[in-house]
Amino acid sequence: MITKKNISIFEKKIGHSFKNKEILTASLIHPSFTKDHKIKKNIIHSEFERLEFLGDRVLGLVISSLIYSRFISLNEGDLSKKLSYLVQKNFLYKISTELSLNNILKFSFKKQNEKMNVSILADAVEALIGAIYIDGGYKSSIKFIKMYWGPYLNVQASNLQDPKTKLQEISQQKSKKLPAYKLIKKNGSSHSPTFTVSLKVLNLKQIKARGTSIREAEKNAALVALEMFNASKTS
């Protein structure tokens, strides 16, 4: 819900106080909300998509500049791999969960379409970056992107693989079996749910993990399993 109090809390989280609150508001109202609530298409509706377009370009430029400056020994191909990983929709969705964007963004949650929800929240991150750029300029955009992408810039290329894919490859190699994920609980409202999944793999004890989507919960479970597997190799 977009309220003055929520806006103030959100601005502290993103490290930017908007001079023009209307720009921020426009980035927090997804077209799916206006469509499903039969709100007449207006400037705010189209402005989200314009901000998303701009934010995508700003993010690409900032990340490209950061990794170019930091990793002077990487060739063009390796730089491209890092860039692709850091701007892909799944990673943007990860950032949206760190921002708790689903708690303030106005959008229509699709119960039966998880991919659509991931895409919506990823698009909202780009719209937010576009809004920050319009309101505060390039320096403000860099500050925000460094704050949330910075911790991931040093991730090695070998670790860029999706954890579920990596775990599946290890499981098939070691036991000839696929990891078994199972949804065991769903809490919260339809707009802001929390899912809990269990995972059985590689003779490890049963793992439980949570996320704001089944996809995220399964990824978190896979990460725990990989940590347990790596720990068992060194013990």
Total count of domains within the chain: 2
Is 126 annotated in the active site? yes
Q: Compute the average pLDDT of residues 145-174.
A: 82
| Domain end marker among 129, 159, 189 | 159
Highest mean pLDDT among 94-108, 193-207, 216-230: 193-207
* Residues 8 and 83 grouped into a single domain: yes
| Domain end marker among 159, 182, 211 | 159
The average confidence (pLDDT) of the chain is 85
Lowest mean per-residue pLDDT among 104-118, 167-181, 199-213, 217-231: 104-118
CB within 8 Å of 220: residues ≥ 6 apart: 209, 210, 211
* Residues 115 and 146 grouped into a single domain: yes
Q: Compute the average pLDDT of residues 160-179.
A: 86
Task: Give the pair of three-digit tokens for residue 68.
Answer: 């170019």
Q: Is the pLDDT of residue 54 over 90?
A: yes
* Residues 118 and 213 grouped into a single domain: no
- The catalytically annotated residue of 47, 123, 126, 135 is 126
Q: Compute the average pLDDT of residues 192-207.
A: 89
Which residue carries 């970056």 as its tokens? 129
Cα 216 from chain centroid? Answer: 10
* Residues 84 and 200 grouped into a single domain: no
Percent above pLDDT 90 for the chain: 46
* Residues 131 and 195 grouped into a single domain: no
* Residues 178 and 106 grouped into a single domain: no
Lowest mean per-residue pLDDT among 41-45, 184-188, 216-220, 227-231: 41-45
Whole-angstrom CA distances from 14 to 11, 36, 109, 128, 180 are: 5, 28, 23, 10, 37
Which residue carries 């910075």 as its tokens? 150
Sign of dihedral through CA atoms 105, 182, 89, 43? Answer: negative
Q: Which residues pair with 194 in a beta bridge?
A: 187
* Residues 130 and 52 grouped into a single domain: yes
- The catalytically annotated residue of 47, 52, 56, 135 is 56
**Does 140 or 234 have the greater pLDDT score?**
140
Looking at residue 66, its pLDDT comes to: 97
| Domain end marker among 159, 187, 214 | 159
Q: Is the pLDDT of residue 119 over 60?
A: yes
Whole-angstrom CA distances from 225 to 46, 144, 156, 166, 199 are: 43, 31, 19, 11, 8
- The whole-model pTM stands at 0.68
Looking at residue 223, its pLDDT comes to: 84
* Residues 155 and 190 grouped into a single domain: no
Residue 26 and residue 70: Cα distance in Å, rounded?
34
Domain CATH code at residue 114: 1.10.1520.10
Sheet containing 180-188: order of strands: 180-188, 193-200, 207-211
Whole-angstrom CA distances from 220 to 81, 198, 223 are: 23, 10, 5
**Does 120 or 18 have the greater pLDDT score?**
18
* Residues 38 and 23 grouped into a single domain: yes
Domain CATH code at residue 184: 3.30.160.20
* Residues 201 and 147 grouped into a single domain: no
Domain range for 219:
163-234
Neighbours of 184 (CB within 10 A): 11
Is 218 annotated in the active site? no
Residue 176 and residue 75: Cα distance in Å, rounded?
36
* Residues 109 and 208 grouped into a single domain: no
Q: Compute the average pLDDT of residues 26-47.
A: 67
* Residues 154 and 177 grouped into a single domain: no
At 115, is the pLDDT very low, low, confident or very high (cuts 50, 70, 90)? low
Task: Give the pair of three-digit tokens for residue 38.
Answer: 């039969």
Looking at residue 196, its pLDDT comes to: 92
